[in-house]
Amino acid sequence: MKKLLISLLITMFVFSGNVNPLPAMNKVSAQQKPIPPYAKWGTLALEKTHEKYPHAKIVDYLHIGRTSGPQTSTEKFKLWLKDNNTEFGVYVNIEFNKQTEKVVKVTFQETSR
């Protein structure tokens, strides 16, 4: 039984491409991704949406993109919410000063899709 388990584990590592199952802790894995530049705005979008819809559960999150103007930029997100048996989408736009990164305004637009 022990040999079967060891054989199964070796097979799993070989076929998964993970030959070294215990990589050194101080090395950065090739699978780690850098934190995207919109991450802090995504966190703010989640917080503000939770404030506006305190009883709804956020079930999905999408970063749509950024638009830039001369002095401000706007990060755009779409969140999917569930409140009791109702599901709906909310577009969240966060406009901020490009120099100071101070939030100018946060807007919400509900959608059925």
Question: Between residues 61 and 21, which one has the greater pLDDT?
Answer: 61
pLDDT value of residue 31: 74
Q: Is residue 16, in this structure, part of any structural domain at all?
A: no
Domain of 54, in residue numbers: 39-111
CB 107 within 8 A of CB 92: yes
Q: Is residue 62, in this structure, part of any structural domain at all?
A: yes
**CA 77 to CA 64: how far, in whole Å?**
5
Question: Between residues 76 and 2, which one has the greater pLDDT?
Answer: 76
**Residues 30-67: pLDDT tens digits?**
678 899 999 999 999 999 999 999 999 999 999 999 99
Q: C-alpha distances in angstroms, 92 versus 1, 39, 65, 103? A: 55, 14, 11, 13
Q: Is residue 102, in this structure, part of any structural domain at all?
A: yes
pLDDT value of residue 113: 80
**CATH, residue 84:** 3.10.450.390
Q: Is residue 82, in this structure, part of any structural domain at all?
A: yes
Q: Is residue 63, in this structure, part of any structural domain at all?
A: yes
Query: For all residues of the chain together, what is the average pLDDT?
Result: 81
pTM reported for the whole predicted model: 0.70
Q: Is residue 8, in this structure, part of any structural domain at all?
A: no
Q: Is residue 58, in this structure, part of any structural domain at all?
A: yes
**CA 93 to CA 78: how far, in whole Å?**
9
Total domains in the fold of the chain: 1
